Structures are given as structure tokens and as C-alpha cells.
Amino acid sequence: MFNTVKAIFIKKANDNSSKTEPKNTLITLKQELKQHAIKIRELKSHRPVNKRGDWKLYDLDYTIFKESRLIRHKHIAYSLIRGRSYGQIEKKCRENNKPDFSLVDTIIKEYTYES
């Protein structure tokens, strides 16, 4: 009996027809959010002229903007996956500063199961 149950379990474990495994997990998404936050803090510390080094201010600001935009969308996706509504995540958002929900949807699909 044990061998039969074990064989069924192995067959189900190897059967990829029902759901495909996500490339990443929610834990890795949380870790990436933390790493992006660390990177943004580090970049912001280079803003003063005496700490800028080889950075040009516009390059530095643009890099911070890109990282901030990515972390915002990943945070929205992470919170939506965990069951929050968008209204709970961002209480106030200016009309011209709405998130790109197609990017949020892409991130959600990357970190969750697909049927």
C-alpha cells in the first residue's frame, strides 16, 4: 500500500498539467522589495556634490526614479497578492500619478500560480 501511495504522490508531483510553478515566490518578491529599498537609499546618499563621485545628477535622479517606480509597482503587486485592496495600499493618489496596472498585473503573474 505504501508503495502505491508513494507512486501516486510521485506521479502527481511530476504532473505539470494542472498548474505551472511560479518562477519566483512571494518570499523572493519581499526580498527584492528590500533590496530595491536598500539600493534607493544608497543612491540617495550620493546626491550631495561631495559624495557624487562620477555620477551626473540627472543620471542619479533618473536611476532613483526608475528604482522608485519599480518598487512602487512591486509593492502594489505584493500587497494585492496578500489580499489588500488598492484603496488600502494607496489611500491618496494624484490623477496624473496613477500606477501602471498592466505592469502590476505582469508582476502578479510572475509571482503567482497560473492555471
pLDDT digits (tens, 9 = 90+) for 73-91: 999 999 999 999 999 999 8
The confidence score (pLDDT) of residue 23 equals 60
The angle at the Cα of 30, spanning 29 to 32, to the nearest 5 degrees, equals: 65
User: Tens digit of pLDDT for each residue in 5-50?
Assistant: 333 333 344 445 445 555 678 888 999 999 999 999 999 999 998 8
In this structure, are residues 77 and 108 in contact, taking their beta carbons and an 8 Å threshold?
yes
- 3-class state of residue 114 by DSSP: strand
Reading the block at residue 72, the C-alpha cell is 512602487
Q: Region 53-71: what's the mean pLDDT?
A: 93
Dist. CA 63–CA 46, nearest whole Å: 12
Closest of 30, 21, 19 to residue 77, by C-alpha: 30
